[in-house]
Chains A and B, each alone.
Chain A
């Protein structure tokens, strides 16, 4: 077949509804999602900010009036982490996204979001280390049983491991997008030479 014949085959398909749309389900979907943009990034950011603020508050109020310096430092550390996340969130949202972008810009935008997720997950993963150390020091200062320290260390190690898995998922997603971008750009460079 020549390309003109392929074109004729293509043109033969009518614009009639190949798949009838379930109107009720469609409206439910729009209603439930219309305010939801970048849902994964949004929810993970908000969750991290809330967890850090709440943990900071709980640690601070439980240790008010005690001499446990590590717990005060830990509380400040938690508030600082929440502030850092908030600042990054504001920067990301200000960066904005318009829909009149070309595929190239769209892919670059998706990669910038993926880069942000990769960086955030990496920072939050390593943030477990100082939090873990300060928690253990606080428990030691409080004169608690060695078993509590062991349990704490195991829990923090598990959190560190889980953070690594999450980071890996974001990194793979970013790599997939970069492959697509390269596919789009590669012949562009070849063509220019």
Chain B
């Protein structure tokens, strides 16, 4: 694959699927700086993954897989070990947007953010409509285990939402 072909695919993927990357950013990184840092990591991994893509799965599934694997391993501590960037690269990739965000959605993201890294990824996959089979394949665990984890997460989120309702926020 030539650099140009890779660039064309990358731009197409990013244009069509950036929404899912933003969801992962919001679930895994809280501050603007962290989100920018994680976005850089995900983008690099997505770029590197393009030649390995064999169209055996949907592009959405592929990008989700790459982005979640990157997010799970990502921590702010990694920054200490990374090489200094050139001034050009240091520019923030993500810019502020004035889009009005639903308060309940912000609450939901906060609750997802409180889960551990593994449960966060399962919650995102669940909310984005992936089947147990797809989740099991992406996580490398059995379907029944996915089911167990999802039941627990659902109960947890419903309990939290009842408190949220109770406080009338």
Indicate, yes or no, whether A interacts with B.
yes
Taking Cβ atoms with an 8 Å cutoff, the residues of A that contact B are 1-3, 5-7, 9-10, 12-22, 24-26, 28-30, 32-34, 36-37, 39-40, 43, 98-107, 110, 169, 173, 176-177, 180, 183-185, 187-188, 190-192
Contact across chains for A99 and B49 when beta carbons are under 8 A apart: yes
| Residue ID in chain B nearest A28 by CB atoms | B88
Can you report 12 A-B residue pairs in the complex whose CB atoms are below 8 A from each other?
Answer: A10-B108, A10-B128, A13-B105, A19-B96, A20-B97, A30-B10, A34-B47, A99-B66, A104-B140, A110-B73, A187-B149, A191-B145
Contact across chains for A30 and B43 when beta carbons are under 8 A apart: yes
Q: How far is the CB of A39 from the nearest CB of chain B, in Å?
A: 6
From B3, B43, B97, B137, contact of A102 by CB (8 A)? B137
Contact across chains for B68 and A103 when beta carbons are under 8 A apart: yes
| Residue ID in chain B nearest A29 by CB atoms | B89
Please give 13 more A-B residue pairs, beta carbons under 8 A apart, in addition to A3-B158, A29-B89, A99-B66. Answer: A16-B19, A16-B99, A17-B22, A32-B86, A34-B44, A99-B52, A99-B53, A103-B65, A103-B139, A105-B140, A107-B72, A183-B118, A191-B142
Q: Which residues of the other chain, A, contact B3 by a CB distance below 8 angstroms?
A: 34
Contact across chains for B117 and A180 when beta carbons are under 8 A apart: yes
Answer yes or no: B33 CB below 8 A from chain A CBs.
Answer: no
Instruction: Digitize B1-41: 1 where CB-to-A-CB distance is under 8 Å, 0 elsewhere.
Output: 00100010010001000110011011000000001000110
Nearest first, the 10 closest Cβ-Cβ pairs linking A and B are A104-B140, A102-B140, A15-B19, A1-B161, A99-B49, A19-B94, A25-B91, A99-B52, A106-B69, A10-B127
Q: Which residues of the other chain, B, contact A101 by a CB distance below 8 angstroms?
A: 69, 140
Q: How far is the CB of B99 from the nearest CB of chain A, in Å?
A: 6
Taking Cβ atoms with an 8 Å cutoff, the residues of B that contact A are 3, 7, 10, 14, 18-19, 22-23, 25-26, 35, 39-40, 43-45, 47-49, 52-54, 56, 65-66, 68-69, 72-73, 75, 77, 81-83, 85-86, 88-89, 91-97, 99, 102, 104-105, 108, 116-118, 121, 127-128, 137-142, 144-145, 148-149, 154, 157-158, 161-162, 164-165
Contact across chains for A1 and B93 when beta carbons are under 8 A apart: no
**CA separation between A36 and B85, bound complex, in Å?**
12
Q: How far is the CB of A175 from the nearest CB of chain B, in Å?
A: 12
**CA separation between A183 and B121, bound complex, in Å?**
12
Q: Which residues of the other chain, B, contact A99 by a CB distance below 8 angstroms?
A: 45, 48-49, 52-53, 66
From B10, B14, B164, contact of A1 by CB (8 A)? B164
Contact across chains for B18 and A21 when beta carbons are under 8 A apart: yes
Q: How far is the CB of B37 from the nearest CB of chain A, in Å?
A: 11
Contact across chains for A29 and B66 when beta carbons are under 8 A apart: no
